Amino acid sequence: MLRIGLISDTHGLLRPEVLDFLRGSDHILHAGDICTADVLEQLGALAPVTAVRGNNDRGGWADRLAASEIVRFEDVWVHMLHDVADLDLDPPGAGIQVLVCGHSHKPRIEQRQGVLHVNPGSAGPRRFQLPISAGELRIDGAGVSAYLVEF
């Protein structure tokens, strides 16, 4: 079974408890608004990282990040982007099983048209009364489940 760590909207802040949660991940997906290359370096010390550019990611370090990524873990295809409003494909039609996004800072897991939509929320500075959170995917062959953790 693979454990894929999910994180978004760090805005330059990686909390020790979030790093502890992500430790042991086989791969980490960061859904944007990273804000500093240091965040990716710290995550990369834990596991391979795939990250997308968020609306607050600017500068030379962020230029190498794509607006969206499609990655495969075992038999599961995952599409990742920062803001779901920018989705430019039909996930079920494209064979996507999981859609990971950020931007809203609101942690959420839901099924839509057979696709598991996961927003790990924000692991960075607190915004309004929203929780600090991250998540994970557990993948076994073609099976996938998602979990969120609040800190």
Tokens of 54: 């968020």
The model's pLDDT over 45-81, given as tens digits with 9 standing for 90+, comes to 999 999 999 999 999 999 999 999 999 999 999 999 9
Give the C-alpha distances (Å, rounded to integers) separating 122 from 33, 37, 139, 146.
Answer: 9, 17, 22, 16
The model's pLDDT over 94-145, given as tens digits with 9 standing for 90+, comes to 999 999 999 999 999 999 999 999 999 999 999 889 999 999 999 999 999 9
Report d(CA 114, CA 138) in Å as an integer. 17
Structural class in CATH, domain 2-150: alpha beta
**Domain residues of the chain, as ranges?**
2-150
Tokens of 53: 């550019």
Dihedral (CA of 132, 125, 33, 82) sign: positive
